[in-house]
């Protein structure tokens, strides 16, 4: 390639990479898989090495991160937050090691860490108190996200020592939180996040910190800025010191000085990555000695003393046999690819969500196509790309439904949604999904009423809505396939018991758009009974903390519907409780937990963590995930670790399970 050809190709690559970088870093909505971006970026790097006279300051290879959004205040990083160099093969990693040893003049130790799939952030403390949190931005200037940082439970708001200090690390979204968030967004007809990194970035860069709080973000802190000021001389010491100060650090980091042991480390975590609670996309090597780091220095963009080894993408090839369209309880129609079974990241996959019609169009996915699959967030099977070179000739485009496949009503595209939605309230598919949701554990908890039973009840025309459940008789249920006396009595008992549930369960079970379990509880706590909620004004609803206008509009729209009004009337006639039961608790008598901030740590023998948290919450406690000076009680189970140590250093009241039993018994007596 001559210089003129190189100039043309470099211009093409810079334009394409800039577009992809803006989508990834600034809009948190990537257009291609990371591996595809990496190939383009590597091609540009190689061309600029071959033709250095063509390198310009505005090239993507000379920039760090993305732009700072105008909605946020700017923060200048006194010490720039640089990117890391990437390598994609073990041979390149060996070259980095050899180059580093040559520059140092001797063999060196590396601190080896996992490369977390998240968003870089900086935290600044004065006298041990958190005063500022910011994103990396373009490396020199970041975004002030302090209000949002304050909602992340594992970030200490007060350190164990009164230090003036800056630390840096990664903000990430746990895999389970990522899946729950995408499931919720898909249910509401919104675009889903492509991966946990973009989900974390989109959550941290919210103008409403309550949204950030609901996203359950976490952090791993790994950089101590000006470490020598604190007597720290190595990266491994820095990790230990950060942990001592109360930061969440990754336990997998270790010190290695043999390249073969580093290869073993890579192999270990490539095999274990699916079992981790968080996403990783490689490992990071850092020269362990901080003085040597300073000697090696940086290029304009990356440090010379560290490198990221990126795992090869875990992808499998398969063929799409069909595309099925299923209806959710909110009317969203979702496409799913049915494929030839294939092994992907340790599991056999034969189905993959296509999320919405827009994805099918954007990726041009057709029945009969050969595709590459990956797992978004190491969890959700998803189509990476279509192998168009293998596409059979004259393969027709996928037909996008115009009418609902279940009730034949015309589908609509609501404003600000990517989903196709059926808005017919009598659509049988929506009703069946709604019945299943109504009976679910977090709603009315009608044990034994799953999708198979709902399908039979509906197809045999025994019920047409949730109120019909309370009219079922023993004789009705005898007509169900495979239903015997014991099963019938158990189901009737579960239905009867559900009448006694607190208001928030019923409100959530109704499946009102945007009203999740937390919102339902807040509404129940505020208004006490169903009639008060129905009659509340939009302003009264909106003023509740974290509720807002969207939920207020949805509630008013739902309860203004004549069919909804009739449904509530029928439920009242069936003696279904319409009152918030927890409002009757005399929390003033609960001296142990009312108004207290509680942390649970270690392994509990008698309690499940979630159920205990809910119980403490109902008794007026605030259950949090990290120990701070504001913590009142630490409940310590077996193998309690750093949280116990920190609680002891802060003189926090520490109780074991026996004391917990006694406290809970006192609470029951007070009721």
Pairing of strands 110-116, 316-327: unpaired
Catalytic residue among 27, 49, 115, 432: 115
CA distance linking residue 639 with residue 601, whole number of Å = 8
φ, ψ of residue 189 in degrees (nearest 5): 80, 15
Closest CA to 631 of 646, 612, 615, 616: 646
CA distance linking residue 321 with residue 324, whole number of Å = 10
CA distance linking residue 632 with residue 595, whole number of Å = 9
CA distance linking residue 155 with residue 152, whole number of Å = 6
For 329, the token pair is 């309880």
CA distances from 195 to 350, 372, 441 (A): 21, 16, 28
Closest CA to 196 of 380, 466, 409, 23: 380
471 part of the active site: no
Residue with tokens 């967030």: 377
Pairing of strands 633-636, 653-655: parallel
Contacts 24+ apart (CB under 8 A), 321-328: 321/367, 322/367, 323/354, 323/360, 323/365, 323/367, 323/398, 325/401, 325/405, 326/429, 327/404, 327/405, 327/406, 327/422, 327/427, 327/429, 327/430, 327/433, 328/186, 328/187, 328/430, 328/433
Q: Contact at 8 Å (CB) between 144 and 73?
A: yes
CA distance linking residue 489 with residue 447, whole number of Å = 12
Q: Is 271 exposed, middle or buried (0-12, 13-18, 19+ CB in 10 A)?
A: exposed
* Total Cβ atoms within 10 A of residue 400: 16
Q: Contact at 8 Å (CB) between 329 and 434?
A: yes
State the catalytic residues.
115
């Amino acid at each position: 390639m001559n210089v003129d050809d190189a100039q043309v190709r470099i211009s093409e690559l810079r334009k394409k990479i800039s577009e992809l970088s803006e989508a990834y870093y600034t809009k948190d909505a990537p257009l291609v898989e990371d591996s595809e971006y990496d190939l383009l970026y590597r091609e540009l790097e190689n061309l600029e090495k071959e033709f250095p006279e063509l390198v310009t300051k505005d090239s993507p290879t000379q920039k760090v991160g993305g732009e700072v959004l105008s909605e946020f205040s700017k923060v200048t990083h006194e010490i720039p937050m640089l990117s890391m160099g990437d390598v994609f093969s073990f041979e390149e990693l060996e070259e980095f090691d050899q180059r580093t040893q040559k520059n140092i003049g001797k063999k060196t130790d590396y601190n080896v860490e996992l490369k977390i799939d998240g968003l870089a952030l900086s935290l600044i403390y004065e006298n041990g108190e958190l005063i500022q949190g910011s994103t990396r931005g373009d490396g020199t200037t970041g975004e002030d996200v302090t209000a949002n940082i304050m909602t992340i439970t594992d970030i200490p708001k007060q350190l164990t020592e009164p230090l003036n200090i800056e630390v840096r690390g990664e903000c990430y979204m746990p895999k389970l939180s990522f899946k729950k968030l995408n499931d919720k967004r898909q249910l509401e007809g919104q675009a889903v996040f492509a991966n946990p990194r973009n989900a974390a970035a989109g959550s941290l860069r919210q103008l409403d910190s309550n949204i950030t709080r609901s996203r359950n973000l976490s952090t791993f802190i790994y950089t101590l800025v000006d470490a020598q000021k604190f007597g720290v001389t190595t990266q491994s010491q820095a990790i230990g010191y950060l942990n001592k100060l109360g930061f969440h650090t990754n336990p997998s980091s270790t010190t290695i000085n043999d390249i073969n042991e580093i290869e073993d480390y890579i192999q270990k975590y490539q095999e274990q990555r699916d079992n981790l609670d968080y996403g990783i996309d490689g490992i990071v090597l850092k020269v362990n000695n901080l003085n040597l780091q300073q000697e090696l220095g940086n290029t304009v963009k990356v440090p010379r003393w560290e490198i990221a080894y990126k795992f090869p993408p875990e992808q499998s090839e398969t063929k799409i046999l069909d595309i099925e369209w299923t209806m959710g309880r909110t009317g969203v129609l979702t496409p799913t690819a049915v494929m030839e079974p294939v092994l992907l990241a340790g599991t056999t996959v034969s189905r993959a969500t296509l999320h919405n019609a827009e994805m099918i169009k954007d990726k041009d996915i057709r029945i009969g196509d050969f595709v590459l699959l990956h797992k978004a967030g190491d969890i959700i099977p998803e189509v990476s790309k279509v192998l168009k070179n293998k596409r059979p000739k004259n393969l027709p485009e996928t037909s996008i439904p115009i009418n609902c496949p279940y009730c034949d009503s015309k589908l609509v595209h609501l404003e600000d949604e990517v989903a196709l939605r059926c808005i017919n309230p009598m659509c049988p598919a929506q009703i069946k999904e709604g019945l299943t949701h109504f009976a679910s554990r977090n709603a009315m908890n009608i044990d034994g009423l799953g999708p198979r039973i709902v399908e039979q009840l509906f197809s045999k025309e025994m019920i047409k809505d949730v109120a019909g459940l309370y009219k079922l008789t023993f004789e009705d249920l005898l007509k169900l396939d495979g239903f015997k006396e014991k099963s019938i009595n158990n189901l009737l008992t579960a239905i009867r018991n559900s009448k006694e549930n607190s208001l928030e369960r019923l409100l959530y079970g109704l499946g009102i758009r945007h009203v999740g379990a937390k919102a339902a509880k807040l509404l129940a706590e505020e208004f006490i009974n169903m009639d008060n909620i129905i009659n509340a004004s939009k302003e009264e609803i909106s003023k509740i903390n974290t509720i807002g206008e969207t939920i207020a509009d949805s509630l008013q729209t739902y309860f203004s519907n004549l069919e909804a009004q009739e449904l509530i009337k029928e439920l009242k006639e069936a003696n279904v409780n319409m009152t918030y039961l927890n409002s009757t608790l005399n929390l003033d008598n609960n001296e142990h937990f009312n108004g207290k901030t509680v942390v649970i740590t270690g392994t509990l023998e008698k309690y499940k963590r979630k159920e205990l948290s809910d119980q403490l919450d109902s008794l007026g406690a605030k259950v949090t995930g990290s120990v701070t000076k504001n913590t009142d009680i630490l409940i310590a189970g077996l193998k309690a670790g750093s949280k116990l140590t920190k609680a002891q250093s802060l003189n926090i009241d520490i109780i074991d399970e026996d004391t917990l039993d006694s406290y809970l018994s006192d609470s029951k007596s007070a009721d």
